[in-house]
Protein backbone atom coordinates (compact mmCIF):
# COMPACT_ATOMS: atom_id res chain seq x y z
CA UNK A 1 0.00 0.00 0.00
CA UNK A 2 1.41 3.36 -0.94
CA UNK A 3 0.38 6.98 -0.35
CA UNK A 4 2.41 10.16 -0.34
CA UNK A 5 4.05 11.09 2.96
CA UNK A 6 1.73 13.20 5.06
CA UNK A 7 -1.10 12.76 2.55
CA UNK A 8 -4.46 11.67 4.01
CA UNK A 9 -5.47 8.19 2.87
CA UNK A 10 -8.23 8.23 0.28
CA UNK A 11 -9.19 5.68 -2.36
CA UNK A 12 -7.70 8.03 -4.96
CA UNK A 13 -4.17 8.15 -3.47
CA UNK A 14 -3.72 4.61 -2.18
CA UNK A 15 -2.41 1.90 -4.47
CA UNK A 16 -2.51 -1.69 -3.33
CA UNK A 17 0.55 -3.72 -4.33
CA UNK A 18 -0.13 -7.09 -5.94
CA UNK A 19 0.97 -8.80 -2.71
CA UNK A 20 -1.52 -6.69 -0.71
CA UNK A 21 -4.39 -7.46 -3.10
CA UNK A 22 -3.64 -11.17 -2.92
CA UNK A 23 -3.36 -11.15 0.88
CA UNK A 24 -6.62 -9.20 1.20
CA UNK A 25 -8.42 -11.66 -1.08
CA UNK A 26 -7.03 -14.72 0.74
CA UNK A 27 -7.99 -13.28 4.13
CA UNK A 28 -11.33 -11.78 3.11
CA UNK A 29 -10.27 -8.23 4.03
CA UNK A 30 -12.32 -5.56 2.20
CA UNK A 31 -10.50 -2.48 0.88
CA UNK A 32 -12.69 -0.21 3.01
CA UNK A 33 -11.29 -1.89 6.16
CA UNK A 34 -7.79 -1.03 4.99
CA UNK A 35 -8.75 2.57 4.25
CA UNK A 36 -10.42 2.89 7.68
CA UNK A 37 -7.30 1.42 9.30
CA UNK A 38 -5.00 3.95 7.65
CA UNK A 39 -7.33 6.90 8.31
CA UNK A 40 -8.08 6.02 11.93
CA UNK A 41 -5.75 3.31 13.29
CA UNK A 42 -6.16 1.79 16.73
CA UNK A 43 -2.36 1.53 16.85
CA UNK A 44 0.32 3.18 14.72
CA UNK A 45 4.03 2.37 14.88
CA UNK A 46 7.28 2.53 12.93
CA UNK A 47 8.52 -0.65 11.33
CA UNK A 48 11.42 -1.90 13.49
CA UNK A 49 13.45 -2.96 10.43
CA UNK A 50 12.78 0.01 8.12
CA UNK A 51 12.41 3.56 9.42
CA UNK A 52 10.74 4.64 6.15
CA UNK A 53 7.84 2.22 6.71
CA UNK A 54 4.94 2.94 9.04
CA UNK A 55 2.54 0.30 10.37
CA UNK A 56 -1.19 0.80 11.00
CA UNK A 57 -3.40 -1.60 12.97
CA UNK A 58 -7.16 -1.72 13.57
CA UNK A 59 -9.43 -4.17 15.32
CA UNK A 60 -12.74 -5.04 13.67
CA UNK A 61 -15.46 -7.26 15.06
CA UNK A 62 -14.58 -9.85 12.39
CA UNK A 63 -10.80 -9.61 12.78
CA UNK A 64 -7.71 -7.43 12.85
CA UNK A 65 -6.16 -5.49 9.96
CA UNK A 66 -2.47 -4.61 9.79
CA UNK A 67 -1.17 -2.30 7.06
CA UNK A 68 2.27 -1.14 6.08
CA UNK A 69 2.66 2.21 4.33
CA UNK A 70 5.68 3.17 2.25
CA UNK A 71 6.57 6.74 1.30
Domain ranges of the chain: 18-69
Reported as a single tens digit per residue, the pLDDT across 8-65 is 555 567 788 899 899 999 988 888 888 888 888 899 888 899 888 888 888 887 766 6
- Residue 65 backbone dihedrals phi, psi, to 5 degrees: -115, 135
What is the reported pTM?
0.67
Amino acid sequence: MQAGAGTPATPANIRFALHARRAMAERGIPADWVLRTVRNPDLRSNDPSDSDVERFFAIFQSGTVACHAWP
